[in-house]
Amino acid sequence: MKRYFPLLLIVLNVYFSFGQTIVTTPPDKIYGKLFVDVQMNRVFVDGKTFVDCVPKRKPADIVSDYETEKAQPGFDLKKYVLDNFELPASLADTYKTNTSEDVVTHIHNLWAVLKRTPDKAVEGSSLLPLPYPYIVPGGRFREVYYWDSYFTMLGLKESGEIEMIDDMVKNFAFLIENYGHIPNGNRTYYLGRSQPPFFSVMVALLAGAKGDSVYQEFLPAMQKEYAFWMDGAAKLKPGQAYRRVVRLGSGDILNRYWDDATVPRQESWREDVLTAQKSGRDKVDMYEELRAAAESGIDFSSRWFADSKNLVTIRTSDLIPPDLNALLYHLEWAISKALLMNHDTTAAEFRRKAIRRGQLIDKYCWNKTENFYTDYNFRTRKQSNHITPGGMYPFCFVNEHPDYMSFLGQKVADVIRKKLLQPGGVAASEFDTGEQWDAPNGWAPLEWMTIWGLDRCGQKDLAADIAGRWVRLNEKVYKETGRLMEKYNVSDINKEAGGGEYPGQDGFGWTNGVLLKLIDKYHLPKE
């Protein structure tokens, strides 16, 4: 796999407009051998704990003293870390559920718990400071997350928290302006990748509350994000790929997921090292593929595996996903809308780009055999036969040929009933591999995109059915545990969700947002 090292980010000092010098060096570069030893010796069960720690003194002194002290008899690595770092705070330490509250009241109260005020830079911290307040998902997710935030905003809007949505969109525009893209989250170790590009969808949501002038306000940020996703497109020859862009043999341009870093994910360092060793593949290739899946937000799923079963066969960057390209269709459409409002003649160009992308999604990702949108492997020139909720995104966004989309909707509804529909909603995939983005798990963002897509293509009864199943499952777990979870077991509603690199998390931003939206949209009873 040919590798590229764009002038991006990995070690960089930036002076931001709100008066702070930010060091964007990730923890593995700051702490060197200490970092590797902590992660590989599993000082903390969750690898994300150490990368979120804040040093109690200058990082250079901590590293220097470590090199001296580690050779002494009886040296205790965990004690050294605890003596020199502040551990990240846990949501559970500061909030207790009032189980007498109905779930809607609980969520309204929880926004204040999940809220973070504007940040300040701390030397040695991995946090990238943001100038406006924001909502975090909860649990181990102590920072803002890109695609999570759109689904959180659905609930914030239902709660009347429009200014919070505005602040969060401004934060994302700030990240685009200062880093060239929205990273996975506001951490230095996330700078190599973005996440599913929901920024323009957030802008549309905010515009629905504050008026279409919002499109003009965030036009520069949308244009810059678009440039990030399309970087290198003009220079590609047929059959080539660069970063997030692929030029197919026919000359057509579509996008894939990618990550610019070539080391293990800092927050999952040990897991990635062991996976690469187990695979027998080139370790840098493995790190790139694991990171690309992390950019998709679907980390991990059989969707990305060559054999549909095992993580060691991952090949994310070979695939052109319909969901990613549907989001970029929306971005092109939103830029066109904003340009048109400014009487800019290039508006027509972006509208043509969107129309063409919609045609290409149909050309490469509509699987006539499966009657569903699936990933396209541009290296093998074959479509995947994996059925996942990712295939519903085109129905959420594509504006052209509505009659045709309605016709396809009848087909996909039958596929969903047969392959994804479960007692608690829709499963993340058909297959149970032990990965968290596979069956039997369901996730709020996938439920919403499936429901939205079905509703938009005329399959309103199935959309309402899935909404009811998901809401009842969320409320059942809340009544039994007092918690709203990151993910749920939709196949056996009496069991917890599983899989993944960490235990189940509660809080939880996108679950809260989607639940409030569905309760309101479908007039479902709150319990």
Please list the active-site residues: 299, 486
- Which residue in 266, 256, 267 sits closest to 293, CA to CA? 256
Phi, psi at 254, each rounded to 5°: -140, 180
DSSP letter for 145, please.
B
- Residue 86, token pair as written in the block: 């502040």
Residue linked to tokens 């689904």:
151
| 262 Cβ contact list (under 8 Å, min separation 6) | 3, 284, 287, 288
Sign of CA dihedral 193, 196, 200, 205: negative
**Exposed, middle or buried, 253 (CB in 10 Å: 0-12/13-18/19+)?**
middle
d(CA 121, CA 20): 6
- The partner residues of 320 in beta bridges, in order of sequence, read 376
Say how far apart CA 502 and CA 45 lie, in whole Å.
Answer: 8
List, in order, residues 6 or more apart from 68 with CB less than 8 Å away.
none
**Which residues share a beta bridge with 246?**
241, 254
Compute the distance between CA of residue 121 and CA of residue 344 in angstroms, rounded to an integer.
Answer: 39
Query: 123: how many CB neighbours lie within 10 A of its CB?
Result: 13
Residue owning tokens 């063409």: 356
In DSSP notation, 376-438 reads EETTTTEE-----GGGGHHHHH--S-HHHHHHHHHHHHHHHHHHTEETTEE-S-S---S-TTS
Q: Is residue 483 within 8 Å of 496, Cβ to Cβ?
A: no
DSSP E strand stretches across 446-512: 487-489
The H-or-E segment that residue 513 falls in is helix 509-521
Question: Cβ–Cβ contacts within 10 Å for residue 460, how many?
Answer: 12
Residue 229 tokens read as 């996703």
Query: Is residue 330 within 8 Å of residue 201, measured between CB atoms?
Result: yes
Residues contacting residue 104 through CB under 8 Å, at least 6 positions apart: 516, 519, 526
